[in-house]
Structure 1
Amino acid sequence: MEVVANPDTIRTAPPSSPEEFRSLMAGFPTGVAIVTAVDRNGRPWGMTCSALCSVSVDPPTLAVGMRAESPTLRAALESDAFTVNLLHAQGRSAAELFASGAPDRFDSTEWSMPEHAAGPHLTEAAHAVADCRITQIVVVGEKRMVFGEVFRVSRLADDDPLLYGSRRYGTWSATQPRSHR
């Protein structure tokens, strides 16, 4: 049996509801990251982000999704750069803190600002960090997809990554011993 999609029907179909879409994406576990940046006054900003993906290996490029009104986005645009902190399993409290909007986030977590870093490195919560320079921004609804070319990768720990899916945090532990290079 041959099935052919009708392009006219597909183009005119209404989008799914936000609730249906959230339910769909809840079933797609993802790693948890905190995106950080520094504004023109040197103030650090950060937000928990699960809308992160690898775009290209050459040049090494990441894409992160941020709300249009996000102060972290504003700081990243001011500095033309951002940092992606990939959280390890013990980074859950940092993920919750940076998702909360609490104004004292950086007073409540360990971080450093290495020379030439794009944003704060979360030294206790992250297992790896990527410093990125912004190369492109795409508007998608109320979000901005910010593309960043990675200019530095730092490994901070050799821990299992923090995951988020089905509206809860978890970890992924390999059943085999970890390979060390």
Structure 2
Amino acid sequence: MTAVAERVSPAIEPTLFRQLLGCFPTGVAVITTRDAAGKPAGLTCNSFSSVSLEPPLVLFSLRKASKLLETFRAAEGFAINILSEKQDALSGRFASSRIEDKFEGVAWRSGGLQLPVIDECLASFECLTFACHEAGDHYVFIGEVKHMDGGGSDHALVFYKGAYMMLAESLRKLVVQGKLGDADIDEAYRNLYGTLLRLACSRATEAELDAVETSVAAIEQHPDEAPLAERIASASGFFGAIAVAGHNAALQLMAQTMTTVLRERMTHVLSVRPRPDLFPLRRKIVASLRQRDAEGAAAALDALITQLRTMDSSSRA
């Protein structure tokens, strides 16, 4: 078998090998642990993969040339922090050899295994080291997941052909270029979130309804000069809370796409300003949810969208 392979296979050229591997899009993670003194350590990695469900095993690979190799080999465990597309700066920070203290200015906490868990990641997995195998110029670390947590609903940061790729890039271009019309977007919101509100009236827990009401309060509490990023976050939080309360995974995935549309429109298309005229309409949605009034909640959403579009149209006229 070896003789046959040597006869039909040309030598693998490392640069081309790397280039062709880059044709496979991968997620980006920051792998963290603690050194012998308890100091947090971490690096950027796109070699993360799942291995097994029973027991729950994951892996990542680390170059033998890495300065942190011995730190990870000596540690009892490690944490996988899956980055969102908003965290591309974190990816660059933990990949840089010029930054001595990677955690300076980074929001993080100690997880259940006392491993460093980075805030606002899409997901985190704290693992005890299950096995470590030498493989060519890398070591493969296999970890057994002991704690895990899910974060926001943003899109994942993706590495493709040597660069970051935003999963929503095509959608973003459509929004910015004005190729998604107001009428189509409004219809999508009415149908998607109207359905989610109806589902929430029968499925949502009281805690989930509290989350919707809290998101409404967050919007109302913005001062007039609140930064755009805060307004976008609170508006996204409102619709995100409704999506969670609807308890439908497929519709929640669609809602994540609509969140991207909302974010891009607020950033590039709409004139974002205080809208106290919308406060009673959001409160009506909350009240209808509390009363488990599905049609009332959907009607309040319809009124909210109509009022929002009416005012936006007049401001652009």
Pair 1:84 & 2:115 matched: no
Q: Deviations over 1:52-98 (max 9, x none)?
A: 11111111111100122434332232221000000011010000111
In the alignment, what sits opposite 2:116? 120
Task: Check the 8 A contact 2:109/2:118 in 1, yes or no.
Answer: yes
Q: Secondary structure at the match of 1:40?
A: coil
- What TM-score do you get using the length of structure 2 for normalisation? 0.51
Q: CA deviation at 1:20?
A: 1.4
How many Å separate the matches in 2 of 1:45 and 1:71? 11
In the alignment, what sits opposite 1:106? 103
Q: Secondary structure at the match of 2:36?
A: coil
1:100 alignment partner AA: S
Please identify the structure whose Cα radius of gyration is greater.
2
- List, as ranges, runs of 4+ consecutive aligned residues in structure 1 with deviation greater than 6 Å: none
CA pair 178-170 structure 1, distance change in 2 beyond 3 A: farther
How many Å separate the matches in 2 of 1:25 and 1:166? 8
Q: CA deviation at 1:49?
A: 0.3
Pair 1:154 & 2:149 matched: yes
Structure 2 spans left out of the alignment, 5+ residues: 172-249, 256-317
In the alignment, what sits opposite 1:94? 90
Pair 1:9 & 2:4 matched: yes
1:98 alignment partner AA: F
Q: Alpha carbon RMSD of aligned pairs, Å?
A: 2.2
How many Å separate the matches in 1 of 2:6 and 2:55? 34
Pair 1:178 & 2:248 matched: no
Structure 1 spans left out of the alignment, 5+ residues: 1-5
How many Å separate the matches in 2 of 1:63 and 1:166? 22
- Of the structure 1 ranges 73-82 and 24-33, higher mean CA displacement relative to structure 2 is found in 73-82
Q: Secondary structure at the match of 1:116?
A: coil
1:67 alignment partner AA: R
How many Å separate the matches in 2 of 1:38 and 1:74? 11
Matches of residues 15-164 of structure 1 in structure 2 within 5 Å? 15-101=11-97, 102-117=99-114, 119-124=115-120, 126-164=121-159
Task: Check the 8 A contact 1:84/1:129 in 2, yes or no.
Answer: yes
CA pair 22-69 structure 1, distance change in 2 beyond 3 A: closer
How many Å separate the matches in 2 of 1:96 and 1:110? 15
Q: Secondary structure at the match of 2:118?
A: coil
Task: Check the 8 A contact 1:39/1:74 in 2, yes or no.
Answer: no
Task: Check the 8 A contact 1:45/1:71 in 2, yes or no.
Answer: no
Q: Secondary structure at the match of 1:178?
A: helix
Structure with the largest fraction of strand: 1
How many Å separate the matches in 1 of 2:2 and 2:75? 43
Structure with the largest fraction of helix: 2
Tell which has more relative contact order, 1 or 2 (C-alpha 8 A, sep 6+).
1
How many Å separate the matches in 2 of 1:15 and 1:154? 43
Of all paired residues, the percent bearing the same amino acid is: 27
